[in-house]
Amino acid sequence: MSDRTPSKPGSATAAATPPAGVAGAVTPPGTRSITRTSCSAADKMIGRSVGKARILKRLGRGGMGDVYLCQHPDYDKAVAIKILPPDLTRNDELLQRFRREADSAARLDHPNLVEILDVGEENGLHFILMAYVDGMNLQEHLDDEGKLEYREAARIAYEVALGLGAVHGEGIIHRDIKPANILISTNREVKIVDFGLAFDAEDKTTLTVAGAVMGTPWYLSPEQAEGKRADARSDIYSLGVCLYLMTCGVRPFTGESHMAVLYKQIHERPRDPRFHRPDVPDYFADLILRALEKKPEKRYQSSHEIARALEMFLNNTYP
């Protein structure tokens, strides 16, 4: 791989035929990717119209709804629509989360974020219309490749950090950065997807379901694991977990239960990346460990700061 800093990617090219990946599709760790799993032909949404979009095929199921391939007369590229199941709209808290996802994502315009085209509600169906991106998510990529060459891991993390810079600049915390929510297009562009857990940093409301901690245990920051308020540094911790996984081929913390993983997130220190991979440069290993500090004040304090650190590594300008 070249030593130069990667250029910021542009918009992904939409495929004329249904590509392998879809923005907004979420895969729990350790399960087969939904973007590669055929969905039931008996889906009652197939053939229906929602707004101007005509639904063609179900592509997968995300944390807050199903994602479909659709045709739309206003766009000459492939589009996807994410729909919250009607039975869940009776849950005011879940509906609040969905609306917040739509409102926050629609404000953002950045090459490292999936493009949101429209949001709305029709006949009780709440939906987000988004660009359809040709590619696979990072979880799929890791399932295929295992651990990555560490400079490629740094490049992907750098692009994610740039996207998070735009997110945090709007006062939004993603709260669920994980490989399934990082999309890699066929031309190697990196985009953050699924703002199902996003919320405005100025809003004092904590979004939970039945008092449960929101997010994915393997990627939750210690403060999130304790049920405390998340901020931008929580997303940086989650990015650090992704970076550790990409580099080492294993997550920093595993356990027989979600509670066991949450306990380790709060109380245990991760093994040095060089334990798993001795060839990792010291600067890069220290970068990963700083992102994974237990106390937020010891981590990188902004997405821009960790992006600069990754840029220095990619440019070979680090100390």
What is the set of active-site residues? 176
Q: Is residue 4 classed as helix, strand or coil in its secondary structure?
A: coil
In sign, the C-alpha dihedral spanning 189, 192, 194, 195 is negative
Distance, CA of 272 to CA of 269 (rounded, Å): 9
Q: Is residue 60 classed as helix, strand or coil in its secondary structure?
A: strand
Token duo for residue 89: 């709209």
Distance, CA of 209 to CA of 232 (rounded, Å): 22
- Determine how many CB atoms are found less than 10 A away from the CB of residue 51: 17
User: In 3D, which of 110, 80, 255 has the Cα closest to residue 191?
Assistant: 110
Per the CB < 8 A criterion, the answer to whether 26 and 34 are in contact is yes
Tell how far CA 168 is from the center of its chain. 14
* Strand order from edge to edge, sheet including 116-122: 49-50, 53-62, 65-71, 79-83, 125-131, 116-122
User: In 3D, which of 89, 250, 115, 262 has the Cα closest to residue 191?
Assistant: 115
